[in-house]
Amino acid sequence: MRGDVNIFCKFSLAAAALLLFGCADGQNNSGNHLSPPIMAVTNTPVTQAIADNAHIENVDKSFITLAQKPSEPNSDTTSLLPFPTTPLKLDQQQPINRVETTPVIADSHQAIHRTDLWQRIRAGFALPDMNSRFVTLQEQWLSKRPDYVARLLQRAKRYLPYIVEQVAERGMPMEIALLPAIESAYRPAATSRARAAGLWQFMPATGKHFGLKQNWWLDQRRDLVASTDAALNYLDYLQQRFKGDWVLALAAYNAGEANIERAVRYNLKRRRDPHFKKLRLRLETRQYIPKLIAFRNIINTPENFGLTLPQLPDKSNYAVVPLPDQLDLGIAAKLLGIPTEELLAINGSYRRWATPPGKGHTLLIPADKAVGFRRALAKLPPSQRIRWAHYRVRQGDTLGAIARRYRVNLSSIKRSNNIRGYLINIGQNLMIPLSEGATIQLARRNTNSPRRKNRNQQRRKRSFVHRVRNGDTLWGIARRYRVYVSQLQSWNALRKQSILHRGQPIRIYASN
């Protein structure tokens, strides 16, 4: 009760002071009113972000770590698949963490800073400041590690210009272009313990929901173009869901929208402040926004921290080239005249040495080489576009038989697929390095051919089953039937550590 009286007295004094101020100010300002503490998103220019005095307790002094997202996206798949039709009602609460921003695609700021990417990024900063101890700790951590910052920004040179262009086109706060520094340190190959992957650290289910393909051939969570488009779509959805509140949208990107909504509802039901700094969140999420703000401050005024930023190209110098069919990435690099490692660095979605079979796939290449690459690729016969074949192990296969079928050395198959022994399993995928003169048609042999079907039927007729008895071992069975242990393992999908049980069927294929 005493607290209520104090609050009432403070409010009365403030109201009285405001009344006196209004009288002294005269008639010209009679129509003005006090702005809310945090303002809603508008298209009105703003010259300075609004301060948000946040204080984070029990902070971790480490800076950039891979975001450990929950094992399922947003801890609530129903909130993502599909999008909820009844978003969280925040109309009756105070404006929270909202910032006036100018769309960063504005022609004026692009024209002024067109030659300096860093100035272009700074002109688009729009998130509120956080004068917190944790932000200070992060700034100190970075300022004491100039080598780390230099390596991070060196990696960013490949990706940041493109990301900045996409963020600017959507009119989003430019801090979002720095988000991969917190998520993955600008490493497309980064994978967290929770299986989040890529520059933007998409969880598998979230990535699939936003159209990112993930299979044996490719993982588009690691693709610069596809993952950036998906991440910005997701962030745009989140800021709409949270009524234009970018701070809550970014927190939801880390913790999941369901968790942030739950925390907001918890505060609203108890008539507590629903600002981000007042929400009950796990420590990682409470530290997530301050980490981004700290890195933003470093980029904004590097001289204050004794750091120097490298020069970056102002615009993306990449072109997306559609491919007519499957293409060996090593051959593509030769046509471009660049190292294979460089091509793989900007096409991180491809998990193998070649693009997937068929049409509909693209390659990201340096823009100044696009015309020459298209011409060279058009002149290259289809039989010379691939040096690798994909093979899926079938029942009865052995490494030796596969090597003979593709006319390649057995050791090359083992080396290409990191196989130490001779055991392969039914359904296992193998990359086969094609021999000189071999064509992709060889790699497309399958069980649909009449000749192979007939051979498989004859092989089934020559097979029989051995029932395991007491004392039987794979070595003993192999010796009895004059076959190799590796063949028994392959025919029956067994491993070296497999335990045989009495009565277990072991299929054996006779050689004659």
User: In 3-state terms, what secondary structure has residue 509?
Assistant: strand
183 is catalytic: yes
**H-state helical runs in 39-145:** 107-112, 117-123, 133-143
Among the listed residues 309, 256, 326, the one whose alpha carbon sits nearest the alpha carbon of residue 284: 256
One-letter amino acid for residue 473 of the chain: T
Q: Which residue has the tokens 């999008």?
A: 83
Residues 140, 254: Cα–Cα separation, whole Å: 23
Cα angle: 162, vertex 168, 171; to 5 degrees: 150
H-run or E-run covering 240 = helix 224-241
Structure tokens at 406: 């593709």
Q: How many helices (H) and strands (E) does the chain have?
A: 20, 6
Strand partners, 507: 465
Closest CA to 269 of 56, 79, 92, 98: 92
Backbone φ, ψ for residue 156 (5° rounding) = -65, -20
User: Kind and range of the H or E element at 364?
Assistant: strand 362-366
CA nearest neighbour of 178 among 265, 81, 64: 64
Of the candidates 175, 183, 257, 261, the residue annotated as catalytic is 183
Q: What is the dihedral of CA 139, 136, 123, 183, to 10 degrees?
A: 60
| Cβ atoms of residues 73 and 79 within 8 Å | no
Distance CA 489, CA 493 (A): 6
For Cα atoms 51, 53, 57, give the angle at the middle one, nearest 5 degrees. Answer: 150
φ and ψ of 271, to 5 deg: 55, 40
Long-range own/partner contacts, residues 228-236 (CB < 8 A, 24 or more apart): 228/162, 228/163, 228/166, 228/199, 228/200, 229/166, 230/200, 230/202, 231/179, 231/199, 231/200, 231/202, 232/166, 232/167, 232/170, 232/172, 232/176, 234/206, 234/210, 235/172, 235/176, 236/170, 236/172
- How far, CA to CA in Å, does 336 sit from each of 169, 325, 370? 29, 17, 8
Closest by Cα among 329, 463, 447, 454 to 392? 447
Counting other chains too, the contacts that 80-85 makes at CB distance below 8 Å and 24 or more residues apart are 80/205, 80/206, 80/209, 80/257, 81/205, 81/209, 83/237, 84/241
Active site residues: 183
